[in-house]
Structure 1
Amino acid sequence: MADFQTQEGNRGKKGGIIRKTMRVDMTPMVDLGFLLITFFMFTTNFSKPNVMDIAFPAKGPHAPTEIDYRNQITFILGKDGKVFYYQDEKSKLNSKSLIPISFDHFQVAKTIEAARAKAPKQDFFTTGG
């Protein structure tokens, strides 16, 4: 709140001049400022939510439930930058069925294209890793 203070000064015999000074307490204003800041922070949207379309597999009698191993190729990353791939059933996976290739993107692309060319249904060809 506001507070008035009076001071008397000596000015001759008539009496002193009375000076009034005003002191304003700013504590309630600081509280009000923080209340306004928190109100606007809670009522403002800082970022709009992003919507992303997700493509789910097709449902129905025409959708394939299992992908043939000849229509897929799987890459495995090994130690020291080694890359292996296999194109066989998962039950037959062992260290001898893994084929090593270089990590060069041209070599990986050639491997994928060669496997896709040999696939019986190229529309359903997938890569995994």
Structure 2
Amino acid sequence: MPSSQPPQQPPLGPYKLVTVNSAPERAKRLVGRVCNDVKERYLIVHVGNAEDISQVAALVRAHQPDLLFTASMWTPAQSDEAIVVAKQICPGIKTFALPQGLQVDKGPDAVVGYIEEHLPALLEN
């Protein structure tokens, strides 16, 4: 008997992601949660983390990522700096800056939720 469910679409991607986070284990853990939560819709592979803005260029050159996320510990100016550097190397890279203080003010669940809320607009536009 045929199923009434439409056929499952394969996830979009894979998207290579570089994060900019001075706490690399936290970045890996939070991005791992996001990747797992959205795996039915998007295939995201976390390929590296820059612990400092000065490491962004080398990491972007090495991995040629599709995505760059800056963490909430950075000021808007620092996030902008990382994004400008990434776009100079990979003009088509999609970037996302978490609001400054989100992790400290609201915790890791808020960070994961914020990323997941904004991911469709970032990846599908």
Return the TM-score normalized by structure 1: 0.24
Structure showing the higher helix proportion among its residues: 2
Return the TM-score normalized by structure 2: 0.24
